[in-house]
Homo-oligomer: A and B are copies of this chain.
Amino acid sequence: MIHVHITKEIKRFKGTEKFLVQTDFSVGAVTHISGPSGAGKTTLLRIIAGLVKPEHGHITFEGETWLNTTENLYLPTQARKVGFVFQDYALFPNMTVKEHLSFGTKDVELIQRLLILGKMERFIDQRPRELSGGQQQRLSILRALTTRPRLLLMDEPFSALDQALKAELVPDLKLLLIEMKTTCLVSTHYPLELKGFADFYFEL
């Protein structure tokens, strides 16, 4: 069980708005997080990853406390063992595709498997600026998997992929997550593409 109960203040044109989330997510499953643009999906995922601090609240992951503002507890991102697929990819400009993956793991077999999963074998020596939008997005997914995360947070991860590619990639990804026993939260505006992928649904 992932327990989340947080409040974050968001600056607005006039004054501030309160962003409030209280919910539980199932462990070992995929939850689809949905909500209109600007609802706070990215913000929520970033808070869970420990990249943004909310003003108030607590987060626990299978009993382990990740955040507790009343006790001033805060587990750093690194110790949370999450994977993150950023909405704008956040790739490393200095690294080739291959270097991105080896940065996360020494396991060459896993790297090879991921390259095949994302159909990226042909581009291993290219840097982000030499990749198309969809290629960058796939790389960002593969990179997040190299560390075999306990919790995978994906922010709009398939938006730049074509249907055929997605139809192949998504089921394979699902199998890999089950194998790795990875819990997954995924935000997307396209519920259809998560058919057979997401087990639960959460609306912001």
Interface residues of A (CB under 8 A from B): 11-13, 34-38, 40-42, 87-88, 122-126, 130, 132-135, 138, 155-156, 159-166, 189-191
Q: How many copies does the complex hold?
A: 2
Q: B13 to A134, Cβ gap below 8 A?
A: no
Q: Which residues of B contact A135 (CB under 8 A)?
A: 37-38
Q: Which residues of B contact A163 (CB under 8 A)?
A: 189-191
Q: Which residues of B contact A122 (CB under 8 A)?
A: 12-13
- Known contacts A156-B160, A190-B190; A133 and B36 CB within 8 A of each other: no
Q: Which residues of B contact A190 (CB under 8 A)?
A: 163, 190
Measured CB to CB, the closest approach of chain B to A123, in angstroms, equals 7
Question: Which 8 residue pairs spanning A and B have beta carbons closest together?
Answer: A37-B134, A159-B159, A162-B189, A87-B133, A38-B132, A36-B162, A37-B162, A13-B122
Q: Which residues of B contact A41 (CB under 8 A)?
A: 132
